[in-house]
Every structure is written in C-alpha cells, then in structure tokens.
Amino acid sequence: MGHRWAFFLAFLLPCRALLAQGGCTLVLQGRVLDEHDRTPLAFADVVVPELHRSVQADDQGRFSLPGLCPGTYTLKVAHLDCTPVERTVQLDKDRTIELFLEHHAAELQEIEVARKRPDEHVGQAHAEIDREAMEAGAGRSLTEMLARVPGVTSLSSGPTIAKPMIHGLYGNRILTLNQGIRQEDQQWGNEHAPSLDPFSSDRITVVKGAASVQYGADAIGGVVITEPVELPRGPGLSGEVRGVGILNGRGGGTNAMLQGGVKGLTGFGWRVQGSGRYLGDSFAPHYILSNTGLREAGASASAGWHGRRMSAQVYYSWFGRKMGILKASHIGNLTDLRNAIASGRPWYVAPFTDSIGPPSQTVRHDLVRAEAAYRVSDLDQLVFTYGYQANSRQEYDLRRGGRSGTPALDLFLRTHTGDLVLKHFIGTKLHGRVGVSGSHQENYNVPGTGVRPLIPDYTEESGGVFVLEHLPVGKRLELEAGARYEATDLRVRRFDDANIYRTPEHRFSNHALTAGASWTVRDSLQLRTSIASAYRPPNVSELYSEGLHHGTATIELGDPTLGSERSLKGTFDLEGQWLHGRLYGALTVYGDRIDHYIYLRPDGYALTIRGAFPVFRYVATDAWLHGADLTLEYRLNGTWSLRDRSSIVRGRDRVRDEWLFLMPADRTENALVYRRPTLGAWRQLEVTLASTYILEQTRIPIGLDFAPPPGAYHLVGLGVSLVRPLKHGELRIGLQGNNLFNTAYRDYLDRFRYYADARGADLDLRVAYRFGKKD
C-alpha cells in the first residue's frame, strides 16, 4: 500500500501549485511580416516553448499572447514556405512587436499561403519530439527517445534491444513510418528494434491511437513518424556536428549533417547526414552485463526540387547495427536455467570488454524513397510515393565444431511499396485526402545456416483504398471522418515436421472506420476526441515461428490458425493553460476493445541441442485495455517550474477473466526545471532534476510467468543544457545523468529480467556545433 500512496502523491504533486495565485496579466502581441516587402503572413504559427503554448496569427498576420508573467521568453515563428526564426523577448510590461520571416519568392502565388494546413491528426492524441528534445537523447536509441512521451514505454531485451510500447500495445501493432515509408523490418518478431537512425529526421511524431484508416494495417496501437526533413530552397550552406560520450558502456556516438541549395536554381535543395555509436559492455550496479556491446552506423542523402506546380524528392538511407546478446541468457540445461532465474545473479560475468561475441545479431536496412507531387489546381494536389526496402538479419550462437561464425539464422526481406494520394478541397471548407496503396514483400532464408529456419520463406501482397475528410465548423471546431478497405494475400513456403514441402496460403480482408473532432474552446484550451476501428492481419512470425529466437533467448511457437485482430478504440484528449498561462496540462483518457488479441504466452521450458530456454507460444484472446496519460507543468516564476508526467494502463483477458500478460506498470516522473533564457554570453540554460517512480506490476495472470514481477523502483536523473551563440553558428552543450544513485532494479517489460539487473548509473556528455543559415 505504501508504494501506491507514494505513486499517487507523486502523480498529484504539481497540483499543489493550484493553490498559488499569480498576477500574470501581461500581453504580448504583434504581427508576422514578410522580410522583403512587409506584407502580412497569414496564419503563421507563434510558439512559446517555455510555456508549451502556441497561437496562430489571423489572415492579417496579427497574433496575441495574453496572461504572461514578467520574464524572458523564446518565440519560435514558422510559416509555410518560410525559413523559421527564433527571437528572444524580454517582457516587463505589455508589448507589441513585429516578427519578420524570409519568404520563398517562387511560392508567393500559391493559395496555401492563405490557408491553414489541415490538421493531420484531428481527434487523435499525439505528441511531437522536436529537434532540441532529440538532441537531448543523442547517443540513445529511437525507443529511448520515445519513452519520454507519457503513455509510451519500452519493451526491451537487455540493454541493446528495445522497441516502443504505446498504451500497452507493442510489436507489429505499432507502425513506424520512416520518411513517410512503412518500416518493414519488424516482420521477424516482437523483439527486433527499429532499424533506423532517428537523426535522419529532425522531428518525430507519436500518434497514440488506432490510425488504420490513414496508415493501414499495423497502426492498431499507434504510429511513430520520423518526419521528412524540409530541404533548403535557396543558396547557402548549413549543418551541424555532434558528439556524445557515454559512461555506461564506455563509448559514445557522433552525428554530422550538411545541407544547402544551388545558386541560380531556386527551389532545389539537398541534405547529407551520417551517424554512429560504439559501446562496450553495459554494467549493472554490482556486475558487468557481459556481451552487451553495440556497433551502429547510418547515413542518408536526399535531394529535391519545389516549383509552383510540381515538386520531386529522392531519398536514400543505410543503417547497420551489430549487438551482443547478454551471454547469461543462454544456459545449458533445465536445472541451471531454473537456478539462474531463481538466483537473482547472472551465471556468467566477465571483465569489461568492447568486443562482441556470440550470441549476437547483425542487421542492415536500406531504404530508397522517391516522391513526386503535382498541383492539379490551386487547391488540389496529387502525390505519388514509391519506397524500396532491403532488410537483412543474421543471428549468431555458440556452436560446436568452430561454427560460431556461421549464422544460426540468416534472413533477407525485400519490400516494394507505392501510394497515390489526392489532397483536395471540396468547396471552401471540406478538405481531405483519398488514395490507394499497395505493397509486395518477399522473405528469404539464406542457405547455409545448418538450422531449421525460425520463420519460413513467404510472399506477401496487399492493397488498400482510403478516404479521410476534414470539415471545419466555424473557426473553433473541426470534424474528421474516414474509411479504409484493405486486402492481404500471404503465400508461405516451408517444410513441415515430416519434412514435406508445403505452400499454405492465407487471405485477409479488413476495413476500418474513424470519426473525430477537435474543438478549440478558447485560445488556451483544446479538446480532441475520436472513436476508431482498426485491424491487423497476423504476422508470419505469429503464424509459423518454430525455434530459438536469440534476441530474447526464448523458444517461440506460432499458430497457423490465427486470424486478424480487430480493435475499437475511443480517446479523449484535453490540452490547455490555466492560471493566466502559468499552469499547462494535457490529459489523455482511452479505452480499447480488441478481439482476437495475439500475444506470446509462457508455456514451460524446453531443452534443445543449443541449451535450455523458456518457451513462449502465440495465442489469441479477446482483450480490454484502458488507461490515462497526464502531463502537468506549473511555472512557479519566470525561471522555475514543476513538471509531472504520469501514465497508467489496465489490460484484461476477457476470455480467461484474468489480467493480460506483459502490461506496463504504473509510472510517474516528477521534475524541478530551471530555465534561464540568458546567462552572460550563453543562452537557453535549462536544468532538470527528475524523479521517476515505477510501481510493482501486481496485475498479472496468476502462476503464468517464469518468475514473479520485480519490485517497484525509483530513479533520479539530472540534465543540463545551454547554448552559446557564435559568429557563424552556435555551440550547444548538454549533460545528462541517469540512475544517479546506481540503484539496482529490474523492469517488468525487460525480457532479460529473468537473468540480470538493468543498467546502472550513467552519464552522457554531448557537444554540438550548428553553423550556416538558421533552420
């Protein structure tokens, strides 16, 4: 009971600030104008990041921000076809200012200048991770960045493998869009981390809801979108170089980007980018986590041209990773396996090394994307997008006869995708998109492993058609409705247990519907609500897995009789400011009914020629999930703030009448934040002292798991960042400490919690230099 009280006290701590009343009555107003001819820029966006507050200018470029406290604020101003700018404003009385943006002359005649961009996620709860937040996560994986968003957690297999979980859903229920293309490297199982470099983008959007209408299958639980970067459209060079040192693992990472345009070729831009990470063994508080090193590298290049009627862009990226698998997770016999789970300490601990031996994995992901757009009229645009992906994976095990260098699993996955979308207006208000999409995918097992394939060869083809429409009702209400139909054909090639060649075929057809609304009650308060159906055909790994999965050190068994999952999810999202802008709050409440919910269920142990391992079997049931996410931030004064981020999830098996397996525990993060816009020659100083508390997961199926859930734990972190403007750029420095008291703990969502503790104390130092034209 003590843990529960502690959780709810932490959850509600910032609400004490409601008792304080402030006199924040200042008004900042002004106009957003074109830098060249001082014409107003209609519907420009003005953001105050310190307050999580934004306002949109009217058709004359005018904006107003009432209810401000005295202090210094950063204004971020953006407008379609303009270069965004930042400006620091000192406010000690009501002020009226003018903000100037450089507009791209070739685009001045486009009708979109005078129209607000349609909301991509009307009614859907969503969150954005901007460039600065991504920079704070430099040296970390995509999943670790996403886990900072309330409602998003991490399903991991030790310190090297992690993938996002949104509102209790994970795996192939979370769609990842890489530069607008479906990331297709998740077809081989739940533990495979997304093979993409987050720094190939400068903004990540997380949609926390069923989004199958817009994005198709696999968006039943949510969508992670690495947004395509807006390329320069004029001459000049800009870029950045970043480095990070990481204590836990005794390694680091680097990232570099360069972009520009071509003089005399207005509308043309290009960008190149590369990054890498190198880590040795991670360490828990009391021992080394042996064989958990990591090697990672990625690169991307893009070029594009934007004209008045037409535009085109090409993009290529490559990403490679080699990672060690905790050696203590591979055990020789059933007795030792049970003893290892019961002992609380890994059976194998060696001195620190940066070398990687078996068991291990290597992955490679190549992506080619080409997009062309044609403006059919001033209001309508036709967009065609083609994507090609090649994914390869090798998994290595300790093998006799000197064969450890031969992969025990060697897979190659090739995917072609195409989308044709018409973005349109019907009349003066109704707008949306209608489109068709298709994909062709081939999976091959590369010969020579000497092991029966975990996943068979297969060919999968799918096609869909959708429509999604938005209708503004007045200035403050927007409605959304849409539908999608999609069909999938899966042809499998495999040998059965009797070594007879079989070619089973599965056909699935599904539909999805959505309805949503976004209501701006006032400038500082917005409500979103949606109800959406979604679907997901079973993945080939869920149908036909049969063998050892090295990434999780488990034996996984599929079921070829599984059918499609069907979901009906409702969400309610509230975001606003109160107390004259001093209190910011965001609340998401949701309920999700899923029929034929597929998951891996523990099913005893098995002894194989490669050792003893827990067995998990894919099964289906009917499920009900519900929960809430909360963010609160209260400005104590011009520099100090209190922040709370909390989430709860509940999941029930409606067939067995028990709690669902592998649901996240309740969690809350409370932080004391100090922000100072200027400090001598430095800018944007931010210091954050954070306290994260994770409760013990007590809502579990009785007697099902191999070990009881780990206890509650409490972690303390400290972050510092600041910026130094220079003559031709800016220097950005940050320090991030995690688990500062080196607390020993295990997380319920870590598949390796059976064998070892999680990572101990960590300290990251990052330095970045940005130069050239300001983004």
pLDDT tens by residue, 512-571: 999 999 998 987 899 999 999 999 999 999 999 988 776 667 888 999 999 999 999 999
Judge whether residue 87 has pLDDT over 90.
no
User: Residue 27: phi, psi to the nearest 5?
Assistant: -125, 130
Query: CA 235 to CA 413: how far, in whole Å?
Result: 39
User: Measured between alpha carbons, how far is 706 from 405 in angstroms, rounded to an integer?
Assistant: 31
Determine the Cα–Cα distance for residues 166 and 155; give it in Å rounded to an integer: 10
Residue 49, helix vs strand vs coil: helix
> pLDDT tens across 316-354, in order?
999 999 999 999 988 767 777 778 788 888 989 999 999
> Of 530, 481, 543, 553, whose CA–CA distance to 191 is shortest?
553
Peptide bond into 346 cis (omega under 30): no
Q: Cβ of 513: how many Cβ atoms within 10 Å? A: 15
Mean pLDDT of the chain: 87
Going from the C-alpha of 212 to that of each of 6, 399, 512, the distances in angstroms are 38, 43, 6
Least confident of 114-118, 194-198, 479-483: 114-118
Contact 132, 400 (CB under 8 A): no
- Measured between alpha carbons, how far is 276 from 702 in angstroms, rounded to an integer? 44
pLDDT for the residue numbered 186: 63
Six token digits for residue 679: 């400090």
Q: Which of 427-431, 509-513, 654-658 has the lowest mean pLDDT?
A: 427-431
- As given in the structure block, the two tokens for residue 559 are 């079921």
pLDDT at 81: 58
Reported as a single tens digit per residue, the pLDDT across 601-658 is 998 888 777 677 888 999 999 999 999 999 999 999 889 999 999 999 999 999 999 9
What pLDDT was estimated at residue 725? 92
Residue 311: left (phi > 0), alpha (psi -120 to 50), or beta?
Answer: beta
The full set of domains in the chain, from first to last, is 2-102 (2.60.40.10), 222-229+237-771 (2.40.170.20)
Percent of the chain scoring above 70 in pLDDT: 91
For CA atoms 496, 500, 501, 503, the dihedral sign is negative
Residue 101 has pLDDT above 60, yes or no: yes
Helix, strand or coil, per DSSP, at residue 243: strand
Categorize the per-residue pLDDT at 728 as very low, low, confident or very high, splitting at 50, 70 and 90.
Answer: confident
The Cα 610–Cα 596 span in angstroms is: 33
> DSSP 3-state assignment of 292?
coil
